[in-house]
Structure 1
């Protein structure tokens, strides 16, 4: 702690009334004190983008070729290559800016928020807008957004390891003196809920003064990005070696060393797929941005690659399939059910009041809020609280009365019955009432009270509680949940509902949503009774799990993975973090989830809706497919470019390509990859076929073979056209026809590889047709202007060669069409009208 921290604390702290700050005063303090944030990552500058791009091997080789042309006096060729370098740099900068804008938007969405009281109303605001004097509501699983003083509520258990390095939980007492009431930014609340006053913000907090330990780190490249970078560097090194070998062979055999150097450089430039890193960066950034627009916030870039391959979704019931909008509709007292809408007898009102006294005053729990809405309880804060625990799912709050202590308890019926030590026959009768309410899809809590004139024990389970009654809450199914479940089934994705609710409640909601119930319900006790080795075979067909504790969620995730599934797991609580970490994709709830769950997850669901998860899977499949097509296209088009740069040298023919030709081709390749492929929508039947097999690579042997086959088709046809043209036409005409065919084949491959359907003239493909028009205009200008034709060492082909060039271009694309019809890199296709009938109990491997 900095030496002046205590003084700053005493000066800044001032008791606040329950209205909190006025909004105008909060704005004034924010302007004078600055935002509540530590060091933020700097945006990538244009200078940095240009610097990084200028170090790429391909651009260095092009720059060297331009310098060589200028030295030998071919100023036109040199200036064209310099222009090509500038245009390429501009394209890289544009794509970098697109990615930066997407990442900036993601950072805005990922901005943590805090619950505050301003103008007497509870609000949620970005943590960076907090100011000294704000009243914040803090609770279990949340990280403290600033240095605060604990004013009221529960005694909090706080993990201060982020500040002190000590993992032991410390206790903080509302209204306590000195350190007992202090809460520090970045520390984690592991128990309790309370109201606190912000004292210090931003770099003035204890954590900020120590050195900004929570300053946001820069984005790490994904394993795929790192591997592609290594590939480009290796190919760059290989290109330099081949450049030297080709130059030596050409010079020694033909004696023209200047042309030999150009031939070597041309092959080296053609060999390097420098588009790979740019494609991966752009696709990942824009893919995460597109997912965020559908309320799926990606925290780890690798999740973009994995999301489309999910075979099993493990989802919570409350708030994901249902609206998490609890309404108290039934109350059972002395074995008699009462509908809240019909009014309550005196005994029912007493039970409701006890339930209110067992509820946190400013709770985020929807059941607490539902009880408090109907209750006339006006007490401010309890003397002491014992929050919910997995092993003891009961909340107890202690109140002081003139006649003695009064403790109110509510929680899971089975636990409350144990707390009240009900005789077996009475407990069985009450459990039948619970089953009856749960069978109607209601969530059921039991209520109990303890009145004593003696001191209340430290452990409420040692006190004598009297059972009072049952509460029945309705939580409506989300309107889009059933349709989203149908979409999941058609996509070959199994869905398992895992909830802490009563089995009958879970079964009723599952039946309403359309989940498969043929295998029945498996409870947490059933899970606990099985060994980890026996669990995978038992859970293979079960899709409904009830009364499951967080530690059992972890066991279920491990069992599903052992059964061969690619598992996505949703969670919101502190204890859900291990299960989220263990799943292939952890999905945290953005609205009701804790900070711990969000930190452990790969994805944050901003609206907590199950339909958003399915939408994210759809987008994940689209991103994966488009990225796969783009990488295949880049590989395919480099085959004929590199082959046509090398083959004439080996065959003793005049060179077909020079650096100018390769640069012109590259100017078409980059925008096609970055603009056209990324914007391509999903295939019509993308969600009507099973997920890709687990472990299938983004760019594996199958994709490499398909790309080589496509590129080889264009290479053979264009080389054949060139050889045929040389046999009866001039060298310049043959080169003109072959180069035109190569550009046409390039564009045809781009059209075939990027098109997910026959919608080749759809709005999102406008960029492609703009590129086609630009390349057509460029070739027309080169053929029409003799100086440009001489600079490119070609002439307009005659009618026969022109027709042959067009035919070669079309056939080059046609070869790719045949590959796709045979079941190419996108996988076996199904007709758009076919609806896959994949049962909920399909094998987890998909």
Structure 2
């Protein structure tokens, strides 16, 4: 059964599209993981040092020492290969376990296929909680929003509409937060925006870790020192004995005492132990040198929301005129504070999904009379504009309307009739709350109208009501973690899309 007005591709069209545009997979390096691990192991300066040491021992006739060196070589290679193999198997198992399915319209019926089997031209049905399987254009949507943080780093939802040329494109890897839509795929695999990012990252030349650079310098210096000792002893001994082979062996023997053969084994073992400890904590270490790189870090860049904070918004303050009401204080919320809270709630989704809107509904449930069952949403102006805001129109059975708006302070007050003094006061309150770490929204209402509603919410003349301030509490243990970083000499840099003052 197909409830959508699209027939979709036929089986023949799917095959033709896949042949022309490829499959919906991001191609990886042609080199196998085993070969890459082998190449990295045998080109390591410390590994080459052991090879040279083993060769010299055999030349000198020290077979036992040579065998010990070969055993050390085998140990270093085995540890590296084991760690690489174990990590690759764990990553592959995770990928197989999380292989998503996509709902597509084909042969005039709705069916499910693996995301990698989606092709250009497919009609894909995407709804709340699903990942978008490829890049495409919305053809049909109802109250449709997505989270594009995987591409932009911003955790806010982004409204999409097939009627808006600037907001009808959806991207692979983004998450549908509300609504249902049908999209036509126009890019898959490496040609998607996510695929292009992955390709550009793979083209970045991998830098050597600080310890690798130090070891390379150390080995080079030791090789030069060993060579110098070898030439000096060889020349001096040859001058005394006039025996070429005897003086040569004497020089090699003395030079070998300069080479630290134990360091490669110790280094590899300690890195493997570090990787083992991380894996016990649930961290998959694909390369043992990651352990050393983490240990050498001096700057840590982190996001704020959900990393430093709990990503759990709480409504803390309501500002009305010169008054600031703090929720949770003893006593009942004043009528003007309750009215601002009520209008902020009406300007939210009836079934909220955004953390701030959930906080508004929760706070509204605890004050005054609940009118939500009496009013129904009759028109919605989705989040839009720069700075963004949103407006909802509710009505009851008697025809009484509520037109409520909330959004960025700059955007809302721009549509309100305010005096210069009012604007100064509001901006001071806004910046003061932001400086305390609050996320602040302005709340306003529009006069009800018996006539048709305007096409755009920017056509409303709004009456400013006040501000609502939300607080995303920091995680309980984050202070101690930051103190540990400071003691370790690691600086913290917060990278966020929030207001700079916040």
- Shorter-chain-normalised TM-score: which range? 0.5 to 0.7
Q: Is the 8 A contact 1:288 1:304 kept in 2?
A: no
| Matched ranges for 1:72-111 at <5 A | 77-78=62-63, 80-97=64-81, 100=84
Deviation at 1:358, TM superposition (A): 4.7
Structure with higher strand content: 2
Q: Distance in 1 between matches of 2:255 and 2:303?
A: 55
User: Which digits, 9 at most, give the CA deviation of each residue in 1:194-247, with x for residues without a partner?
Assistant: 866687799756349999836746853225523532442454355345434423
CA drift at 1:90: 2.0
How far residue 181 of structure 1 moved from its aligned partner, in angstroms, is: 3.8
| 2:191 aligned with 1:206 | yes
1:395 equivalent to 2:393? Answer no
Kept after mapping to 1: 8 A contact 2:87/2:284 = no
Measured in 1, the distance between the counterparts of 2:93 and 2:379 equals 34
Mapped to 2, the partners of 1:435 and 1:420 lie a distance apart of: 19
Residue 569 of structure 1 deviates from its aligned partner by: 0.6
1:175 aligns with 2:162: yes
Question: Which runs of structure 2 are paired with 1:171-570 in the superposition (5 Å)?
Answer: 174-175=161-162, 181-185=168-172, 204=189, 206-207=191-192, 213=199, 216=202, 219-233=206-220, 235-236=222-223, 239-240=226-227, 242-273=229-260, 304-307=294-297, 309=298, 319=306, 322-328=309-315, 348=338, 351-352=341-342, 354-358=344-348, 365-372=354-361, 376=372, 382-386=380-384, 392=387, 394-397=388-391, 408-412=405-409, 416-424=412-420, 444-450=440-446, 453=451, 456=454, 460=458, 463-481=460-478, 483-484=480-481, 491=487, 567-570=491-494
Q: How far apart are residue 485 of structure 1 and its match? A: 6.2
Tell me the TM-score normalised to structure 1 length.
0.39
Contact 2:210/2:296 (<8 A) preserved: no
| Alpha-carbon distance between aligned partners in 2 of 1:329 and 1:130, rounded to the nearest angstrom | 45
Per the alignment, do residues 339 and 374 of structure 1 end up closer, same or farther by CA in structure 2, a change over 3 Å counting? closer
For residues 179 and 173 of structure 1, the distance between their equivalents in structure 2, rounded to whole angstroms, comes to 9
Q: Does 1:63 align with 2:47?
A: no
TM-score by length of 2: 0.59
* Deviation, structure 1 residue 467: 1.9
Number of aligned residue pairs = 434
- Local SS of the residue matching 2:251: helix
1:789-828 alignment, distance < 5 Å: none
Give 3-state SS (helix, strand or coil) of 2:465's partner: strand
The structure with the greater share of residues assigned to helix is 1
Per-residue deviation at 1:92?
1.0
Q: Which residue of 2 aligns with 1:572?
A: 496
Cα drift, residue 86 of structure 1: 2.2
SS in 2 for 1:213: helix
Contact 1:329 1:474 in 2 (8 A): yes
Within-5 A mapping of 1:105-124: none
Contact 1:38 1:203 in 2 (8 A): no
TM-fit CA distance, 1:39: 1.7
Query: Unpaired segments of 5 or more residues in structure 1?
Result: 1-8, 14-32, 70-76, 120-127, 163-170, 494-565, 577-846
**In 2, Cα distance between the equivalents of 1:278 and 1:397?**
66
CA distance in 2, matches of 1:435, 1:248: 79
Deviation, structure 1 residue 283: 6.5
Distance (whole Å) between structure 2 residues aligned to residue 381 and residue 256 of structure 1:
102
Decide whether the 8 Å contact of 2:319 with 2:337 is kept in 1. Answer: no
Secondary structure of the residue aligned to 1:246 is helix
Q: 1:108 to 1:333 in 2, by over 3 A?
A: farther
Going from structure 1 to structure 2, the CA distance change for 1:201 and 1:333 (only over 3 Å counts) comes to same
Distance 1:178 1:473, change over 3 A: closer
**Which runs of no fewer than 5 residues in structure 2 stay unpaired?**
1-6, 12-21, 104-113, 119-123, 153-157, 365-371
Judging changes above 3 Å, is the alpha-carbon distance between structure 1 residues 252 and 228 closer, same or farther for their aligned structure 2 residues? same
The counterpart of 1:147, out of the listed 101, 115, 135, is 135
2: CA distance between counterparts of 1:349 and 1:483?
40
